[in-house]
């Protein structure tokens, strides 16, 4: 089947299951796992991935918006879903209709949900977000206890969860500790006010990797589910990230091979000039597929198991690689952009570094033009 593709992504479902089990173990007994599947499950394909994670024991889903929630609803009508983004005023009714738990950062948002819920004669379960230093969503930490107490008096909403988000867990232990302390203070305040909160969570992937924590009862990993450790200078405790299995690989093919003379400029702008006689392969992917243009003259690919450098600008549909060192290469040869070939491997983190970005952006850039092919399950 894959012989027919020019540029495709393969997703190994066994790897996802392995990573989910690993996360479960790392999080510890009695801690629930919310798998974050926003942005089309980090480019892996929302519906099949959500279905597979349900089968393999995720407890909740985290999404960015209601459209993503609705896609999950079609696969798992009753599954708990938390919307991590803020609900816009005109989306409140839809969130209630689809039983999506909203993230609440202010009394206005809470009141809006309470009113809509009363109109429907239901109670809406919500998670309150506390801003402990990320500066994005969330009630300022110093005002959090007050917000939650006021919400307990609002008919129509019920605070099911309390959470915060780390800004630099992969880089900055000191700031992360400060965020944790602020969050702990809010929890203490709620405890003193005798307001019990069923679910308390803070850790995304970097939190789970670098800051194992025994005080929360839910974790919210995204990147780790897909088998990638967040890059950062904090080296994860020896070998931890090697225990993950990257689920996605990204492939294309050699379309043409030709010799060029010394001094020949390559691709738009002639940013690469051949320093010697070379053999160059044109491959069937470009930034229109999500192979980022910033990897021009920096990225590498695997062909016949060997690393080959991308030379010249990456274009919309095609890129050029130096295959001078290969003994043989022909049109149709599989080219690996992310993944393993022979004994060599290019990780999403490698590609991200070459492109001056992060693996999250590498995954979510892989475009609609790239078919996702699922392996490792008959169900998918």
> How far from the centroid of its chain's Cα atoms is residue 242's Cα?
18
By CB under 6 A, tell whether 230 contacts ligand PLP.
Answer: yes
Q: For residue 188, indicate whether it is catalytic.
A: no
By CB under 6 A, tell whether 26 contacts ligand PLP.
Answer: no
Beta bridge partners of 163: 129, 201
Integer angstrom CA distances of residue 53 from 38, 227, 374: 14, 14, 14
Which residue, 161 or 221, is less far from ligand PLP as judged by CB? 221
Contacts of 196 (CB under 8 A, 6+ apart): 190
Compute how many other C-beta atoms are within 10 angstroms of the C-beta atom of residue 350.
Answer: 16
Which one-letter DSSP state was computed for residue 10?
E
Q: For residue 38, indicate whether it is catalytic.
A: yes
Q: Which of 43, 48, 102, 221 binds ligand PLP (CB under 6 A)?
A: 221
Q: Of 2, 38, 129, 226, which residue is the catalytic one?
A: 38
Q: Count the site residues for ligand PLP by CB under 6 A.
A: 12
In angstroms, what is the minimal distance from the CB of 360 to ligand PLP? 6
Which residue, 222 or 290, is less far from ligand PLP as judged by CB? 222
Beta bridge partners of 253: 334
334-353 binders of ligand PLP (CB under 6 A): none
Compute how many other C-beta atoms are within 10 angstroms of the C-beta atom of residue 299.
Answer: 23
Which residue, 61 or 272, is less far from ligand PLP as judged by CB? 61
Supply the angle between the helices 46-55 and 66-75 in degrees, to the nearest 10: 50
Q: Tell me the residue nearest to ligand PLP as measured from the CB.
A: 222
Q: Of 2, 188, 258, 268, which residue is the catalytic one?
A: 268
The window from 65-73, 119-127, 201-209, 287-295 that contacts ligand PLP (CB under 6 A) reads 201-209
By CB under 6 A, tell whether 204 contacts ligand PLP.
Answer: yes
Q: Which of 7, 11, 31, 36 binds ligand PLP (CB under 6 A)?
A: 36
The window from 43-51, 191-199, 200-208, 252-260 that contacts ligand PLP (CB under 6 A) reads 200-208
Binding mask 83-122 for ligand PLP (x = CB under 6 A): -x--------------------------------------
By CB under 6 A, tell whether 164 contacts ligand PLP.
Answer: no
By CB under 6 A, tell whether 220 contacts ligand PLP.
Answer: yes
Q: How many residues are there in the chain?
A: 380
Q: Residue 310 and residue 314: Cα distance in Å, rounded?
A: 8
Residue 40 is encoded by which pair of tokens?
């089309």
The window from 109-117, 204-212, 257-265, 280-288 that contacts ligand PLP (CB under 6 A) reads 204-212
Q: Residue 329 and residue 14: Cα distance in Å, rounded?
A: 31
Q: Three-state DSSP class for 246? A: coil
By CB under 6 A, tell whether 156 contacts ligand PLP.
Answer: no
Q: Which of 12, 105, 205, 335 binds ligand PLP (CB under 6 A)?
A: 205
Which residue, 156 or 161, is less far from ligand PLP as judged by CB? 161
By CB under 6 A, tell whether 127 contacts ligand PLP.
Answer: no
Longest dimension (CA), the chain: 78
Contacts of 85 (CB under 8 A, 6+ apart): 64, 65, 103, 137
The window from 216-224, 250-258, 285-293, 362-370 that contacts ligand PLP (CB under 6 A) reads 216-224
Alpha-helix runs per DSSP H in the chain: 13-27, 38-43, 46-55, 66-75, 92-97, 107-120, 144-152, 173-192, 205-210, 348-354, 359-365
Active site residues: 38, 268
> What are the residues binding ligand PLP (CB under 6 A)?
36, 38, 84, 165, 204-206, 220-223, 230
């Amino acid at each position: 089947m894959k012989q027919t593709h020019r540029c495709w992504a393969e997703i190994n479902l066994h790897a996802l299951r392995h990573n989910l089990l690993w996360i479960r173990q790392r999080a510890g007994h009695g801690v629930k796992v919310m798998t974050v599947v926003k942005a089309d499950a980090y480019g892996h394909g929302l519906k099949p991935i959500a279905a597979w994670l349900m089968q393999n024991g995720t407890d909740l889903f985290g999404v960015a918006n209601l459209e993503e929630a609705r896609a999950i609803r079609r696969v798992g009508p009753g599954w708990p879903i938390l919307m991590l983004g803020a609900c816009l005023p005109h989306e409140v009714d839809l969130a209630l209709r689809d039983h999506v738990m909203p993230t609440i950062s202010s009394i206005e948002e809470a009141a809006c949900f309470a009113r809509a819920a009363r109109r429907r004669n239901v109670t809406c379960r919500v998670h309150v977000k506390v801003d402990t230093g990320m500066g994005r969503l969330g009630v300022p930490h110093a005002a959090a206890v007050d917000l939650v107490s006021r919400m307990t008096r609002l008919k129509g909403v019920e605070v099911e969860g309390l959470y915060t988000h780390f800004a630099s867990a992969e880089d900055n232990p000191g700031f992360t500790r400060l965020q944790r302390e602020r969050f702990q203070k809010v929890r203490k305040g709620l405890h003193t006010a005798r307001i019990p909160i069923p679910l308390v969570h803070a850790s995304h992937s970097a939190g789970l990797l670098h800051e194992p924590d025994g005080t929360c009862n839910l974790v919210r990993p995204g990147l780790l589910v897909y088998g990638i450790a967040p890059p950062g200078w904090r080296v994860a405790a020896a070998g931890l990230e090697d225990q993950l299995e990257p689920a996605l690989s990204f492939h294309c093919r050699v379309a043409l091979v030709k010799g060029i003379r010394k001094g020949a400029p390559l691709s738009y702008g002639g940013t690469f000039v051949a320093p010697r006689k070379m053999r160059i392969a044109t491959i069937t992917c470009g930034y229109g597929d999500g192979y980022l243009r910033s990897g021009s003259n920096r990225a590498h690919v695997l062909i016949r198991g060997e690393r080959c450098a991308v030379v010249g600008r990456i274009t919309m549909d095609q890129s050029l690689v130096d295959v001078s060192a290969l003994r043989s290469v022909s049109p149709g040869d599989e080219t690996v952009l992310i993944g393993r070939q022979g004994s060599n491997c290019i990780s999403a983190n490698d590609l991200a570094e070459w492109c001056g970005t992060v693996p999250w952006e590498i995954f979510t850039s892989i475009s609609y033009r790239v078919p996702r092919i699922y392996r490792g399950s008959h169900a998918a």
